[in-house]
Amino acid sequence: MSNEGINKKLRPKEIENEIDERGAFVRQKNHFVTPFGEGEKDLKAQKGRYRLIWAKGCHWSNRASIVRELLGLEEAIGINLVGHSKENAAYGWEFVYNEDRMDPVLQIQFLSEAYYNADPDYTGRCTVPALVDVTTKKVVNNDYHRLTNYLETAFRPFQKENAPDLYPVELREEIDAFNDWLFPNVNNATYRMMFAQSLIAYEEAFEDFYHALDTIEERLSNNRFLFGDYVTDSDIRLFVTLARFDTHYYRNIGPIKQRVQDYKNIWDYCKDLYEIEAFKNNTYFKSFSKPIDIREGIFQPYATRFYDQIDYDKLWSTPQSRKILSKTPDEKFLRQK
């Protein structure tokens, strides 16, 4: 389709713009970080005002899609998926799943249009998740660090009855501290490895990642979930990275120390979470495990050879016995009072 008249720019490349002098990947800062709250300049939670844009392969945005469903915010916050087309990949996220590649509510083809509507001078990558104001067609928040917390707190009036309390007041300080540790050592460590342009930077990220997994494996030996008997915001942040490691990230990392499946506690923990419908519904294994380039010849990548043979849903649904660690074995959530 024609792109004439569309406000679009070439997508900046991480290895050209986000690598420091040591060859280490330094992720760009989020640009639209105005919080939701009661302050005069804060964003206000309103039913039907916002649309969540996310991508199947992006774990930063996958967090928000899981939380939205867990909390029953489907009627309060609209949603749509973006992806990449071969002919327009250079322009970033596109509404490839929609007719004419146009979001039916926002009437835009590229997510970048909502970014430039909000800031015509924006020069960074146009990332997901992006929360877009449907009345202005402008991105109002792309802060993946805090977006799930806003859904958990500011949007509470619109949550379903008896919704899970994923961010309990009494645990917020601990959850925030854990999430601050999780970001560099697990969530972003995979990208630190994949985008590293020096062996020193790569090895630092490698060691950070596997040391963190060892720490988490030990933590989960006595806890069903990261903070005990109930799923919290932190579990969602960890799950979305782990779900992509054996299926996608490993291809760009090089020799790996261990697979997620090789950690007894972590692997069973992942499967325990995958039993929850909101996790299963928002985890598109076949999409992000799909081979990027299919080469001809004798030697083909593992993902190419076995793509049609691996049943991820069956694999992630094999039995586990994590409930024995819980005082409430049949209840995975602390419910709102």
Residue 80's H or E segment, with its range, is strand 77-81
Longest Cα pair distance anywhere in the chain, in angstroms? 64
Asked about 191 being catalytic, the answer comes back as yes
Cα→Cα distances 69→48, 63, 111, 156, 332, Å: 15, 10, 22, 13, 15
Cα→Cα distances 283→45, 58, 290, Å: 26, 10, 14
Alpha carbons within 13 angstroms on the beta-carbon side of residue 155 total 29
Q: How far apart are CA 73 and CA 67, in angstroms?
A: 8
Beta pairing, strands 77-81 & 50-54: parallel
Spell out the residues 6+ positions from residue 285 whose beta carbon is closer than 8 angstroms to its own: 243, 247, 312, 313, 316
- Active-site choice (144, 167, 191, 249): 191
User: Which residue's structure tokens are 């720490």?
Assistant: 215
Asked about 58 being catalytic, the answer comes back as yes
83 bridge partner residues: 94
Residue 130's H or E segment, with its range, is strand 130-133
- Active-site choice (50, 58, 115, 167): 58
Active site residues: 58, 191
